[in-house]
Amino acid sequence: MLPFRLVYHEGYDLNLGQHVFPARKYRLIRERLLADGIAAESDFAAPDPASDEDLLLVHEDGWVRRLKTGTLSFHDIQKLEIPYSRQMVQAFRLAAGGTILACHLALRDGLGFNIGGGFHHAFPAHGEGFCAINDMAVAIRRLEREGLIERAMVVDCDVHQGNGTAAIFDGDRKVFTLSIHQFNNYPADKPPSDIDIHLPDMTGDEEYIEQLRAHYAPAIERFQPNLLVYVAGADPYYQDQLGGLALSLAGLRERDRLVIDTALRQCVPVAVTLAGGHAFDEQDTVTIHLNTIKAARESMEMARRAGA
Ligand SMILES: [Zn+2]
């Protein structure tokens, strides 16, 4: 049994068929967790889909309406880069509901893990790059509205810059955004995060960890958030189809430990979301996400021992 809950819904599958975004990875992760004995059925919690009211905390009315009614324009679809279906919209609503639940669980248990979400390219009035609803932003706004948090921090380790998240929280002094990514990659236009770590092509484990530690550790200490949302993209992996960094499986796991340990040591609850991952071998993507769950377990056990 895990020391935290895994948030999952079978409706997370975006139903895209043969698309570079492997939306069936969510189901594969759950199957591997159960098959390898890492998790039991009782470790899982199912989210409710985010309501219109939740979405409207971040997204503009016109975008929410077009998603609901299936009236996206050709241009909308082109930017989104995935085909429209009702299932697709429901999957994004569930992912946002999942990140809300993971944040609530983080405040209760110290850590909450959404086996989904991380759709950081979604802006208030449009979606892009396979992201229609910015689940991290919706969850943070919802918890703020409930009076549960004052300050939140987003640490985005996907290989692509978190442009939607950066734009949403631009000028918001209560939400600190950090993105570490390959500079020479999508998105071409990178709205500034509070900290952007622009990495050159083919950056490897050592340099990546060093850069992340140097910027992240002092930032979290200074900002003292009530909640950390970790965007644990699997695509800085050297075998990723859409990435140009060169992290190994071990390097990615070290990254996970660094992000989660640093927060838990300062008693900052952590909510994890998955974001991208498009390895040539789909099983590698599943392994990387599974390793994040294992790293979270190790960090939680260490924090509990330290606190005992
Ligand atoms: Zn990505």
- Measured in Å, residue 270 CA sits from the centre of ligand 1 at 20
Q: Mean pLDDT across the stretch 298-305?
A: 92
**What pLDDT is attached to residue 83?**
87
Residues 273 and 112: their CA atoms lie apart, in Å, by: 9
Burial (0-12, 13-18, 19+ Cβ within 10 Å), 136: buried
For residue 279, report the distance from its CA to the centre of ligand 1, in Å: 11
Q: How far is the CA of 234 from the centre of ligand 1 (A)?
A: 8
Average pLDDT over residues 67-88: 92
What's the rounded Cα separation, in Å, for the pair 215 and 178? 9
CA of 277 to the centre of ligand 1 (A): 7
- For residue 222, report the distance from its CA to the centre of ligand 1, in Å: 28
Residue type, 13: D
Q: What average pLDDT does the structure give for the chain?
A: 95
Mean pLDDT, rounded, for 133-146: 98
If we measure between CA atoms, which residue out of 277, 259, 276 comes closest to residue 268?
259
3-class DSSP string for the chain: CCCCEEECCHHHCCCCCCCCCCCCHHHHHHHHHHHCCCCCHHHEECCCCCCHHHHCCCCCHHHHHHHHHCCCCHHHHHHHCCCCCHHHHHHHHHHHHHHHHHHHHHHHHCEEEECCCCCCCCCCCCCECCECCCHHHHHHHHHHHCCCCCCEEEEECCCCCCHHHHHHCCCCCCEEEEEEEECCCCCCCCCCCCEEEEECCCCEHHHHHHHHHHHHHHHHHHHCCCEEEEECCCCCECCECCCCCEECHHHHHHHHHHHHHHHHHCCCCEEEECCCCCECCHHHHHHHHHHHHHHHHHHHHHHHHHHC
Can you read off the two tokens belonging to residue 275?
């974001």
Output the CA 121–ligand 1 centroid distance in Å.
9
CA of 34 to the centre of ligand 1 (A): 26
pLDDT at 308: 55
Flag the least confident range among 76-80, 102-106, 244-248.
76-80
For residue 170, the CA-to-ligand 1 centroid distance in Å is 20
Q: What is the pLDDT of residue 262?
A: 97
In DSSP terms, which residues pair with 128 in a beta bridge?
131
Which residues fall inside 5 Å of ion ligand 1, going by CB? 158, 160, 233, 235, 276
pLDDT, residue 37, reads: 95
Between CA 246 and CA 205 the distance in angstroms is: 7
88 CA to centre of ligand 1 in angstroms: 18
Share of the chain above pLDDT 70, in %: 98
86 or 14: whose pLDDT is higher?
86
The pLDDT tens digits of the residues spanning 158-182 come to: 999 999 999 999 999 999 999 999 9
* pTM, 2 dp: 0.97
- pLDDT for 124 beyond 90: yes
What is the pLDDT averaged over residues 13-37? 85
* Residue 86 or residue 291, greater confidence: 291
Q: What pLDDT is recorded for position 16?
A: 73
Give distance in angstroms: CA of 207 to centre of ligand 1. 19
Q: What is the pLDDT of residue 307?
A: 74
**260-291 pLDDT tens trace:** 999 999 999 999 999 999 999 999 999 999 99
Give the distance (Å) from ligand 1 centre to CA of residue 185.
10
What integer pLDDT is reported at residue 93 of this predicted model?
A: 97
Percent of the chain at pLDDT above 90? 92
Nearest to 78 by CA among 130, 121, 120: 130
Whole-number Å distance, alpha carbon 212 to ligand 1 midpoint, is: 17
Mean pLDDT, range 113-117, rounded to an integer: 98
The CA 305 to ligand 1 mean position distance, Å, reads 34
